[in-house]
Amino acid sequence: MRLLLAAPRLLASPAAAPLCHGPRLPPTAPCRGASRRWGSSFNVPPSAEFVARPVGICSMLRLPVRASAEGLDAAFVGVPLDTGTSNRPGARFGPRQIRAESAMVRRHNASTGAAPFDSLLVADVGDVNVNLYNLPASCRLIREAFQKIVASGCVPLTLGGDHTITYPILQAMAEKHGPVGLVHVDAHTDTGDRALGEKIYHGTPFRRCVDEGLLDCSRVVQIGIRGSSYAPDPYKYCREQGFRVVLAEDCWFKSLVPLMAEVRQQLGAKPVYISFDIDGLDPAYAPGTGTPEIAGLTPSQALEIIRGCKGLNIVGCDLVEVAPMYDVSGNTALLGANLLFEMLCVLPGVKTM
């Protein structure tokens, strides 16, 4: 698998020990870089009570970095590609910034009781080594990398990158699971056919997936859709395929818990993929993205959507379109990091405290 690691792995050898020394480090805790922490048989993010947040390599949730997904239950993987963007570029830097902001995310989900790091073996497996000058070649590299991840039995949680990346990821998913259901949160349906003569870019991934039979179209739900359009009925194609399209205006000022109860019933027990474009949220909360649209979802609604997926047979997830340079506060990437943590918390096999 062609993976470019985010940084060299830290050593748990005596030579590395001085980097961990400090008055608050418990004597029983192994040095940073060790894969077991504080009595768990799984990988656990270090607590800022004992290890300062800026300490260590820049991995997702400060988890160990692995060279492959073999032996893991779930893995964070970056796809730093933005060659498919149609407006503002910069999502290639999304994975790096999401990892940096993820240092704020802690071990347990106090709201839901989920304890993912006491349930699953999770690590960061680095980035797919994409070709920034050739989008079809990048799609091939992504597909090949995810074929290996999926074949290992590991559930990938992907840090994008623009939304083009979901197309080759779903190619790998369908190869193992057959056509999958989809929970797609976005401002846009991403079902265009072509632009500037090209059939692959971030506005076409789900059209290409339908073309290739990668989706179980009766189990596709798109939430948060909005914005101006080139056609009087921009959602006609989606509805013709059998997608359920939930417009942002139908979500305004309400809880989405009832909606997600209907979604769970619709998607059933078959494999489901979650694809979350950060521009599904209102740019007041997530300005760091390439194609922002006003009047979007709120962060609390995003949590309701993801938490509402608990109990589904989730086989993979992605969080895409974070472009950090348009949000100097880092809040968009911080939001992305938290949403990825929430996705981890609803994976099959995650226990509650």
pLDDT in tens, 56-78: 999 999 999 999 999 999 999 99
* Cβ proximity of 242 and 222 under 8 Å: no
Per-residue pLDDT, 13 = 31
Q: Looking at the domain assignment, is residue 11 inside a domain?
A: no
Q: Percent of the chain, pLDDT > 70?
A: 89
Task: Give the count of domains, the chain.
Answer: 1
Residue 122 has pLDDT above 60, yes or no: yes
Known binder of ligand: residue 124?
no
Known binder of ligand: residue 327?
no
Q: Looking at the domain assignment, is residue 269 inside a domain?
A: yes
Q: Looking at the domain assignment, is residue 10 inside a domain?
A: no
Q: Looking at the domain assignment, is residue 245 inside a domain?
A: yes
Known binder of ligand: residue 108?
no
Question: One-letter amino acid identity for 71?
Answer: G
Residue 25 has pLDDT above 90, yes or no: no
Pairing state of beta strands 155-160 and 180-185?
A: unpaired
Q: Looking at the domain assignment, is residue 200 inside a domain?
A: yes
Question: pLDDT band at 39, cuts 50/70/90?
Answer: low
User: Each residue of 129-184: pLDDT tens digit?
Assistant: 999 999 999 999 999 999 999 999 999 999 999 999 999 999 999 999 999 999 99
User: Rounded to whole angstroms, what are the CA distances from 289 to 50, 272, 333?
Assistant: 34, 25, 10
Residue 9 has pLDDT above 80, yes or no: no
Question: Hey, how many other C-beta atoms are within 10 angstroms of the C-beta on 329?
Answer: 10
User: Rounded to whole angstroms, what are the CA distances from 283 to 23, 224, 270, 278?
Assistant: 42, 13, 33, 9
Averaged pLDDT for residues 209-213: 98
Known binder of ligand: residue 233?
no
Per-residue pLDDT, 334 = 98
Instruction: Report the C-alpha gap between 277 and 202 in whole angstroms.
Output: 11
Instruction: Report the C-alpha gap between 321 and 325 in whole angstroms.
Output: 12
Residues 154, 158, 160: CA angle, nearest 5 degrees: 160
User: Each residue of 11-23: pLDDT tens digit?
Assistant: 333 333 332 323 3
Instruction: Report the C-alpha gap between 198 and 294 in whole angstroms.
Output: 27
Question: pLDDT band at 40, cuts 50/70/90?
Answer: confident
* Cβ proximity of 262 and 169 under 8 Å: no
Instruction: Report the C-alpha gap between 311 and 269 in whole angstroms.
Output: 8
Strand positions, DSSP E, 243-351: 244-247, 271-277, 313-320
Identify the domain containing residue 204 by its residue range.
60-346
Q: Looking at the domain assignment, is residue 185 inside a domain?
A: yes
Question: Hey, how many other C-beta atoms are within 10 angstroms of the C-beta on 178?
Answer: 12
Q: Looking at the domain assignment, is residue 180 inside a domain?
A: yes
Q: Which residues of 69-97 are buried (b: 16+ CB within 10 A; e: fewer)?
A: beebbbbbbbbbbbbbbeeeebbbbbbbb
User: Average model confidence (pLDDT) for the chain?
Assistant: 91
The DSSP 8-state label assigned to residue 292 in this structure reads -
The DSSP 8-state label assigned to residue 118 in this structure reads G
Averaged pLDDT for residues 328-336: 98
Q: Looking at the domain assignment, is residue 338 inside a domain?
A: yes
Record the pTM: 0.90
Tell the burial category of 229 from Cβ atoms under 10 Å away from its Cβ (0-12, 13-18, 19+): exposed
* Cβ proximity of 151 and 68 under 8 Å: no
| Residue (of 271, 270, 209, 267) closest to 237 by Cα position | 209
Per-residue pLDDT, 36 = 43
Per-residue pLDDT, 186 = 98
Strand positions, DSSP E, 80-209: 122-128, 155-160, 180-185
Query: Dihedral sign, CA of 212, 216, 218, 221?
Result: negative
Known binder of ligand: residue 190?
yes
User: Each residue of 244-302: pLDDT tens digit?
Assistant: 999 999 999 999 999 999 999 999 999 999 999 999 999 999 999 999 999 999 999 99
Residues 50, 56, 59: CA angle, nearest 5 degrees: 115
Question: One-letter amino acid identity for 70?
Answer: E
Q: What is the CATH number of the domain that holds 187?
A: 3.40.800.10
Averaged pLDDT for residues 229-251: 97
